[in-house]
Amino acid sequence: MTARNPGPDSSGRGRGRRGETRGPALTSDGVVVLDKPQGPTSMRLVEQVRALVQHRKAGHAGTLDPAASGVLPICLGAATRLSPYLMDGDKEYVAGVRLGVETTTFDLEGEVVARREVPALQIGEVERHLEAFTGLIVQRPPAFSALRSQGERLYERARRGEVVEVPPRTVEVRAIEVLRFAPPFLELRVTCGKGTYLRSLASDLGRALGCGACLEALRRTRVGRLELRHAVTPAGLAELAEAGSLESIVISPADALGHLPAARLSRSGVARLRHGQVVGPEEVVESLPSADGGPLRVLDLDGRLVAIGQAVEGGLRARRVIAAEPDGQAERA
C-alpha cells in the first residue's frame, strides 16, 4: 500500500513523497513567475506549484499551450484576484514560424492539410507584409483553442470532427521584429495585447506570403512587467522549497502590476476606499491620475496594494479590494 503524503507538521513544515522534510509553507500573497517548460498544461503546473509551496489558493494569469514555454505568472492567495489585470498587460513572445506548411491547429501539433513551395523571399518583403499585422487587426482564433462555445472548449468540439465557426475579433499587435530569417524558418519577436493568437498570426502571414505557414515554436518572454529574468523553472522552485527560500522569489501584488499607474492614499483614504466610498483628492498623497476610467493600483502609505481603483470625477473609487483590513478593523488616520 502506498503511504499518504503527510501534511505540514507542527513546525509548519511539510514532507515530500519520499518522506523528506520540505521548507516551511509559503504564506505570502503574491506572484511567482514560472518558466513553463514545453509539455505540461498550465493548469497542471499550477497544481504542482500550489502543492509544492503549500499555499491554500493558486491560479495562473494567462494560459500557455502545452507546446509553448516561458513566462507563466502564478498568483497565490489574495493575489489570485489580480489575474484579470495581469492578463490585460502587454505580452511579448518569440515565435518560430514554419513557412510552406498549413495545419488544422495552425501549429505543428495538428494534421498537415497543405504543403507549398516557399518562394524566393527577401527579408524586406517579409517585413513589408508584417506591417499589415501591426496595430489593431482582425484575426480569427484557431478552432483548436481553449475558447468556449456552447458550454465547451472549442478544441473539444474540433476533436470530435465538428465544423467550428470561430468569429473574428479585433486584437492589438504593438510591434513585430524579425529576429532570424532562414527559409523556410522565420523567427519573430511579437509584442501584443490581450487575446492575440500567435498561431493565427503565423497562419495569416503565410497566406499573405502565398505559401502558407504555421507556428513551430513559441516562448513567452514577458507579461506586463514580469519577464523571464524574474522566472524560475519547476526544478528551481523545488530546490527553493527544499531550502526554505521560497519567499525570495515572491513578487508583491503592487510590483506585479507595475504596468498600471498608481495612486497612494492616506490611512483615512484607504479606510474610506475599503468601505466603498469615493476618495477625494485631499486623501491622495501621490499621483492622482486623470479620470480616464482605466484601472490603477491603489497603494497605502507603505506601498502595499490595497485595491484596484478607478479614477472618477472628484477622486477615485475601488474596482476591487485586494487586501483585507488589518485585524478586521479600518485603519485610522
What is the set of active-site residues? 65
What are the residues whose beta carbons fall under 8 Å from the beta carbon of 176, sequence distance 6 or more? 130, 133, 134, 188, 189, 190, 191
CB 145 within 8 A of CB 167: no
**How many angstroms separate the CA atoms of 187 and 98, rounded?**
9
Could you tell me which of 10, 1, 5, 57 has the C-alpha nearest to residue 32?
Answer: 57
Backbone phi, psi, residue 313, to 5°:
-60, 125
**What are 12's three cell numbers?**
509548519
What are the residues whose beta carbons fall under 8 Å from the beta carbon of 159, sequence distance 6 or more? 144
User: How many other CB atoms are found less than 10 A from the CB of residue 193?
Assistant: 15
**How many angstroms separate the CA atoms of 265 and 242, rounded?**
39
- Helix (H) / strand (E) element for 204: namely helix 198-209
**How many angstroms separate the CA atoms of 310 and 325, rounded?**
20
Percent helix, strand and coil across the chain, each to the nearest 5: 25, 35, 40
Interior angle at CA 148, CA 113 and CA 89, nearest 5: 95
SS3 annotation, 6-54: CCCCCCCEEECCCCCEEEECCCCCEEEEEEECCCCCHHHHHHHHHHHHC
